[in-house]
Amino acid sequence: MLYPIDTPTRTTKDLSGIWRFKVDDEKGDFTPDQVLTDSLSLAVPASFNDQVSIDAIRNHVGYFWYQTDFQLPHLIAAERKVLRFGSATHEAWVYLNGQEIGHHKGGFTPFEMDITDIAVAGNNRLTVRLSNMLDHTTLPVGNYSETTDAHGRLVRQVDENFDFYNYAGIHRPVILYTTHKHYIDDIAINPQLNEDFSKAQINIAVKTHQLDQHQVLIELFDEEDQLVASGDLNEALVIENPQLWQPMKAYLYTAKVSLKDGSDILDSYSEPFGIRSVEVKEGKFLINGKPFYFKGFGKHEDTHIHGRGLDNAANVLDIQLMKRIGANSIRTSHYPYSEEMMRLCDREGIVVIDETTGVGIMESFNFDVSILEDGNFNDATFTSLDTTAAHEQVIRELITRDKNHACVVMWSIANEAATYSPGALEYFTPLFELARELDPQKRPLTLIHIMMSNPQTDLVSSLVDVICLNRYYGWYVSHGDLDTAEAQTRGELLAWQEKYPEKPIMYTEYGADTVAGLHSMEAAPFTEEFQEDYYAMNHRVFDEFDNFVGEQLWNFADFATKIGINRVQGNKKGIFTRDRQPKMTVRSISERWNHIPNFD
């Protein structure tokens, strides 16, 4: 599925704006062919939650109606018309002019519907029924329950099995685009560099909906718009002395694909791509043959008012701030980020570990690893949860969507699953196989380990290319005691290194909740001084390990979560506040990262 853009043969119409919105009372008195009355005005794309001032709506669990009207000119009557959602969280039923045209489950990936036969010239009414419910079959995983209130009414509840607020809504743009009836469906680009990088063969697979006599022409352009290679699908496209896509120094070529009937161009599409190699070898993570060091963040798509909705300005600022403090990478914790962000990371040279929605796959939760050590631990995660189908779907949709991005150097199949539990290896093996098979570029694969999964307890690390650890020594474990935490950090890293000497190791989370403006002479937890000391301790240990290939701290910025006794108006582990003001530790992290080169 291609990102919707204008080309000489395609037009797009962005349906962003103010839509009508209403909680579905489930009485069945609204049908999608009707005008949604008594509704609120709500911005799309954005989460609905923080746009409303009524708690009962903000926190409602169940179904919601969205509706808008749009006009189509007669001019495009003969064109094929497609309606595409960047994402709708978490499940959507879509109706056009009263007729159901599609359904999609999974809140962080795009889906589209051919509406050629249903859209009309003039006014069209688009209605969406949305659900924000999560359960033991969905990703992310939610604990779903039902009760009745004092009036006997059904009350649904979702207790998130993860640590971010369950924002919902139409989070990404809704675009109507047109194509010719014979069209380009998908493009997969797989650049292969030769040994000394003096040549790149650009392997391109194109999926079309076409007649036999039609031809596909491919033209490759450099950043100055100069044609550097061209040919049809059977010809080898080679770029001599290619400019490489490099971390923080991006270079993007464009593949212009045309579907032709004789000299007529029926469809054309331009896809940016970068040329770079990625490889894991002898304990190193190589980009373009050189050992790369990840410096950066686990993030969230989370901003004031927009919630988890697309916020291009925030994305731009975040990358600017990252550059200023010497960061070079992010992980899309804990779900696929917007296509707009992925394109921006390509353009800006930000290295991305691209994560699925595989979060919350854990029945029991405890940071006390000792409960695993007597050998009798039995957690029912892989018998009681039923997430395999959702997991396969999100892997498929993520890799299909992001396969051409130069910025993506590794896929993360899950965050903090119960990888110490019986059944973990059996659950993950086919998912890793699926990801390896789907990715034309065969990027490295990982999953992200929770603290309970250590070299003694972990059952799945034989599958991963890089050992990625979320570690909170000094915070959730040995809270406030950084001397003990330092010894524990060192001890565990040594044990991983001994067990998997060939696998690179990196931290994908480490952090301490810090309330901006809170200070103390004795560097007590929650103060800005403690956060700084905590990072200094970790960094001392990291620097002792040769096969330690990166530090992505938790989190770039403070973010919204459900309420809980560990959360002071959200998670405060950001090194920036939620409105992107620096905490004290930003200075020392910036000092460190600006002195660590991107490559060893």
Tokens linked to 547: 């096969």
**Other beta carbons less than 10 A from residue 12's beta carbon:** 16
Q: Could you say whether residue 470 binds ligand GCB (CB under 6 A)?
A: yes
Q: Could you say whether residue 454 binds ligand GCB (CB under 6 A)?
A: no
For residue 428, count CB atoms less than 10 angstroms from its CB and return exposed for 0-12, middle for 13-18, buried for 19 or more: buried
Angle (CA) 313 318 321, round 5°: 125
Residue nearest to ligand GCB (CB): 163
Report d(CA 451, CA 417) in Å as an integer. Answer: 11
With CB under 6 A as the rule, give the number of residues binding ligand GCB.
Answer: 10
Report d(CA 45, CA 47) in Å as an integer. Answer: 7
Q: How far is the CB of 568 from ligand GCB (least distance, A)?
A: 12
Q: Could you say whether residue 461 binds ligand GCB (CB under 6 A)?
A: no
Q: Could you say whether residue 529 binds ligand GCB (CB under 6 A)?
A: no
The continuous run of DSSP H or E covering 57 comes out as helix 55-58
Q: How far is the CB of 457 from ligand GCB (least distance, A)?
A: 16
Tokens linked to 17: 């704006």
The radius of gyration of the chain's CA atoms, rounded to the nearest angstrom, is 25
Angle (CA) 153 159 164, round 5°: 130
- Catalytic: which of 91, 160, 509, 528? 509
Q: How far is the CB of 489 from ligand GCB (least distance, A)?
A: 15
Could you give the string, one character per residue 535-554, with x where binding to ligand GCB holds by CB under 6 A and - elsewhere?
Answer: -------------------x
Q: Is the Cβ of residue 277 or residue 329 nearer to ligand GCB in the bound state?
A: 329
Q: Could you say whether residue 301 binds ligand GCB (CB under 6 A)?
A: no
CA distances 214 to 116, 188, 209, 424, Å, are 22, 19, 10, 48
**Which residues make Cβ contacts (< 8 Å) with residue 179, sequence separation at least 6?**
9, 10, 79, 80, 82, 267
355 near 341, Cβ under 8 Å? no
Q: Is the Cβ of residue 326 or residue 574 nearer to ligand GCB in the bound state?
A: 574
Report d(CA 92, CA 103) in Å as an integer. Answer: 6
The continuous run of DSSP H or E covering 469 comes out as strand 467-470
Could you give the string, one character per residue 116-155, with x where binding to ligand GCB holds by CB under 6 A and - elsewhere?
Answer: ----------------------------------------
Q: How far is the CB of 498 from ligand GCB (least distance, A)?
A: 24
CA distances 492 to 12, 370, 469, 473, Å, are 52, 14, 10, 10
Q: How far is the CB of 475 from ligand GCB (least distance, A)?
A: 8
- Catalytic: which of 79, 112, 301, 416? 416
Q: Which of 338, 571, 585, 598 binds ligand GCB (CB under 6 A)?
A: 571
Q: Could you say whether residue 355 binds ligand GCB (CB under 6 A)?
A: no
Report d(CA 61, CA 234) in Å as an integer. Answer: 53
Tokens linked to 33: 């062919």
Q: Is the Cβ of residue 176 or residue 447 nearer to ligand GCB in the bound state?
A: 447
Q: How far is the CB of 170 from ligand GCB (least distance, A)?
A: 24
Pick from 198, 241, 249, 315: nearest CA to 597: 249
Mark whether 509 is an active-site residue: yes
Q: Is the Cβ of residue 127 or residue 571 nearer to ligand GCB in the bound state?
A: 571
Mark whether 416 is an active-site residue: yes
Footprint on residues 388-447 left by ligand GCB (CB under 6 A):
415-416
Q: Is the Cβ of residue 165 or residue 177 nearer to ligand GCB in the bound state?
A: 165
Q: How far is the CB of 190 from ligand GCB (least distance, A)?
A: 32
Hey, which residues are catalytic here?
416, 509
Binding residues for ligand GCB, rule: CB under 6 A, are 162-163, 334, 415-416, 470, 509, 554, 571, 573
